[in-house]
Amino acid sequence: MSAIERSSEAISQIVSLIDGIALQTGLLALNAARPARRDEPVIGPLRRTA
């Protein structure tokens, strides 16, 4: 039974690691989108004229 418990704990740690990576990726995406939204009023008209 202890082998199952060890495997379960290892899987739990891996899932926690993946969850943390997913959270960080989401935060990076939000931070990258913020300047794009801020610059849109300037870049938008330039795109239409190009």
Per-residue pLDDT of the chain (50 residues; tens, 9 = 90+): 799 999 999 999 999 999 999 999 999 998 888 876 676 666 666 666 65
Q: Torsions phi, psi of 37, nearest 5?
A: -65, -40
Alpha-carbon distances of 12 from 8, 16, 17, 32, rounded to whole Å: 6, 6, 9, 30
Maximal C-alpha separation, the chain: 69
**Residue 13 belongs to what domain range?**
1-50
pLDDT (0 to 100) of residue 22: 97
**pTM of the shown model:** 0.61
Determine the straight-line distance between the first and last CA of the chain, rounded to whole angstroms.
68
Number of domains making up the chain? 1
pLDDT (0 to 100) of residue 5: 96
